[in-house]
Structures are given as C-alpha cells and as structure tokens.
Amino acid sequence: MKRSITTRLVGMFALTALAMFTLVGAALYGVLGRELTRHENDDLNTNLQNMRYSIDRFGDLEHWARLQVKMDTLSPADGSVRFWVLSDDPRFLYGKGLDEMERVNLGEAGHGSLTLPSTGRTYRTLSMRLAPFADRPAVRLIVGVDTAPFEHTMRAFLVAFGLLALGAVALVMALGWWIARIGLRPLHQLSDQARALRPKTLSQRLRLGRLPVELEDLTVAFNGALGRLEDAWQQLEGFNADVAHELRTPLANLIGGTQVALSRPRSAAEFQETLQSNLEELERLRSIVNDMLFLARADQGEAATGLTAAVVAHEVEVTIDFFEPLLDDTGTTVAVEGELQAQATMNIALFRRALTNLLQNAIEHSAAGACLVVTVSRRAGAIWIAVTNPGPAIGAAHLPRLFDRFYRVDSSRHDTGEIHGHGLGLAIVKAVASMHGGATLATSEDGLTTIAFSIAGAA
Ligand SMILES: Nc1ncnc2c1ncn2[C@@H]1O[C@H](COP(=O)(O)OP(=O)(O)OP(=O)(O)O)[C@@H](O)[C@H]1O
Ligand SMILES: [Mg+2]
C-alpha cells in the first residue's frame, strides 16, 4: 500500500490522543479510587467509634438487647453496612452469617475484608478488640461496608471515561485529517503547477510566493532541475538546427555541382571531375554523420571497450608520426614532455583519435614554424595529455564552450563558406575522455593555448 502523509498524520494524532487519555484516565482512576476508599474508611471509622463507645460504656448483659437494636438500626436494610460482634460467650454474639465467619481470617484488629459465601457479598472491614465490662467478657467488634458500590462506581467511571476517550480520539482523527488536508494544500497546488509544465513552457518556474518554508527547498531544487532541463532542451534544439545547418553546405555543393555538370553535354573527363568533387562532399557528409553517431553513443554513457595498457608517450609519438607530412610542410615541430614512462589503460584507437583532433587544431591555429608541446602528466589518479601551441588567445567567454558540438570561436569563417572543420573535433575529445572516465580542460593565456584531456585509472 502507498504511504500517505495524511494517514500517517491522522494515525499519529490518534495515538497521541489515545496516550494522553490513557494517562489522564489512569490518574483520575487512581484519584477516584483513593477518594472513595478514604470515604469508606471514614464511614467505617465513624460507625466503629460510635458502637465501640456504646459497647464500652453500656455493654453489660442487661443493656445488650438495646445495643443489638442500635446495631440493627445502624445497619441499613440493603445490607450496605453491617456489624458483627464476636465473643466466647454466645450471649454476646451478634451479626449475620456468624457461622460462616469462623472461616474468614480477619486479622486481630484494623482493616481487612471478608466475603459472606451465602450472599457472595464482599465487605471492607474495620475491627477492634473491646475489653471486658461488668458481666461481659472481651469481645471483638467488626464493622463492614459493602464494596459493591465502590466497584460499581469504579467500573462506571471506566466505561464512561473509555467511551469518552474513544469519542475524543475519533474527533481528534477527524480534526487531524482536516488539518492534514489544509496543511498539504500547498503541495497539491505545487503538483498542479508542475502538471501544467510542457516542453514549450520549460522556462516557467514553480512559484515560491506563499509557499511554506518546508516546501521551499523542494521547490528551489525542482526549479533548479527545470533550469538544467531547459538548458539541455535548448542545447538539443540548437543542436538540431546546427546539424541541419552543417549538412546544408555539403548538400548545396553536391546539388550545385551536379546541376552544373548536367547543364550541357560533358566529356567523360569532366564528369569524372564532378564525380570526384561529389565524392569529397559525400565523404564530408559521412564523416559528420559518423562523428555524430559516435557522440550519440558516448552521450548514452557508453564506456570505452578494448582497453589495453599502453605507454602514453609512445602512443603520442606514433600519432605525431601521422602528421609528419603536414609538419614538414609548415615547418612546425612537436615536442613530447612530462612523464614519458607513464602508462594508462585505454582504447588506443580512441586515444589517437582524440590526440589527432588536438594536434589538428594546434597546427591550424599556430603560425608556420611554431613549436607545439604535448605534455603527459599524472594528477589525482588520472593521466592528462595536454597539447600547447602558441597562437592568438581564446576569449574567456569561449573557453567553457569549446567542447560543445559545432562550437567555433570564429563562426564568421564558417559562414563565409571557408571550410575548415565541422566544430566536432573537441566534442569528440570530450567524448573520448568521458568514455575513459576522464575530463577536459582548456586554457589560453600569454600567447599559449593549451587544450587537455584525461584518462582515469593511471597505472
Ligand atoms: N589550439 C587552438 N587555438 C585556438 N583556437 C582553438 C584551438 N583549438 C580549438 N580552437 C577553437 O575551438 C573551436 C572548436 O574546435 P573543434 O576542434 O571542436 O572544431 P573545428 O576544429 O572547428 O572542427 P573539426 O575539428 O571538427 O574539424 C575551433 O573552431 C577553434 O575556434
Ligand atoms: Mg578541430
């Protein structure tokens, strides 16, 4: 069953009320019992003192009949108060059920209790030994009050109080339910607001206005999540636009080139040339699509597979070798520095792909004859590979966005149709890093631009 705050609150209110009533009830029950007992004891005492006085003063055989009448008078017909006199002399015996009482242990004097088996009535008693007087031997005077009324009162109290408590608990539960509903109303209002959110209205936020403080945290956190969602959504929408934009140029080139080729009769050599240039555009398209598929897989959290332990500096050297022709052309040199023995567990193909992208950028953004540096370093359990090149500084505003897809610092170059890259190179570097549990970093100061990525789990 689903847990409900309302049910829990109502349950807790009910338990609290029940505990309170039980406590109060027990206290009242105790007080009532004590008061009733005190009252009964007073009664017993008065009756005992009264008779004792008479028996002590006039308790000889001559007056005994009168005393018996007095005791008769003092004993109500309902039997709620009774007197007994026990004596060795049978002439001075008095009281109902005397024969039964032999069996009852009353103690010498003071308080006790006795039950008359014939009637089943129980009496609370007070007894006293009275010294001989004239022709009367010593006797024992016993006064008893019936405990039935006492018990009846106590039971009536219990029943009445129990019913009252039950009623009150029910009332508390109803009130608790009502209070919980009122208390939770802001939550329902929040839910209503949240339900109205749509992708189109992602810029909306839940209103903090009159929310209770307890809900403020939740709402702020939820609004934060909305903000991140909105960013992601906007990025996605921008990304779609970028993709379309990116595909448009090669497609336009393809169509234009083909249309020109078809506009008049051509020689086989001319068609071949057209096909050749079409092929280049098509390959460009394919590489964009492949890059995007790769990025999509990395986005879904795919980790690098085919991991092997390799000496990082060695892999750097091998990658640089591929650039030999380009480096020779531009007179650029590359130095490898840092921890040349450091090893890392990685997918070598992915590593080379990432480094290739960095080297391409570095060569592209530095003047001919520049000296590039690839630094391998170990930091916090990760291997960092940084490519540094001299060149114009990248504005601080651009640095955090360099690794975004299709992001280019100088977008005008792109719009003029000058084709350098699609702006996916660094996005792929970032994807490779994250597939290896690593991160990326870009700095640009003092005429040096450094772009780095890391691979977790340095050996
Ligand atoms: N070493 C660098 N110096 C200056 N700017 C750089 C450097 N590396 C990258 N950038 C900037 O970052 C942008 C993004 O680089 P990225 O490699 O992602 O894309 P690209 O080089 O434009 O295209 P692609 O690599 O897909 O062919 C570049 O357009 C460039 O403006
Ligand atoms: Mg690039």
pLDDT at 216 over 60: yes
User: Across residues 158-182, what is the average pLDDT?
Assistant: 94
- Domain 304-456 architecture: 2-Layer Sandwich (3.30)
User: What's the CATH code, domain 213-297?
Assistant: 1.10.287.130
Residues with CB under 6 A from ligand 1: 357, 361-362, 365, 389, 391, 394, 402, 407-410, 420-427, 449, 451
For the chain, the structural domain boundaries read: 5-155, 213-297, 304-456
CATH class, domain 5-155, is: alpha beta
Q: Is 137 helix (H, G, I), strand (E, B) or coil?
A: coil
| pLDDT tens, position by position, 33-71 | 999 999 999 999 999 999 999 998 888 889 999 999 999
Nearest residue (CA) to ligand 1, atom 17: 425
| pLDDT tens, position by position, 62-86 | 999 999 999 999 999 888 999 999 8
- Centre of ligand 1 from the C-alpha of residue 423, in Å: 6
Tokens of 449: 């631009």
| pLDDT tens, position by position, 103-133 | 555 556 788 888 888 888 899 999 998 989 8
Q: What is the pLDDT of residue 416?
A: 45
Could you say which ligand is closest to the alpha carbon of residue 423?
1
Backbone angles phi, psi at 347, to 5 degrees: -85, 115
**What mean pLDDT value characterizes the chain?**
90
How far lies 158's CA from each of 121, 167, 272, 322, 445, in Å?
A: 22, 14, 109, 98, 87
Q: What is the pLDDT of residue 408?
A: 86
d(CA 67, CA 74): 10
Q: What is the pLDDT of residue 448?
A: 95
d(CA 339, CA 352): 18
Maximum average pLDDT range among 94-98, 245-249, 280-284, 430-434: 430-434
pLDDT at 274 over 90: yes
Of 91-100, 172-181, 224-233, 245-254, least confident by mean pLDDT is 91-100
Q: What is the pLDDT of residue 420?
A: 59
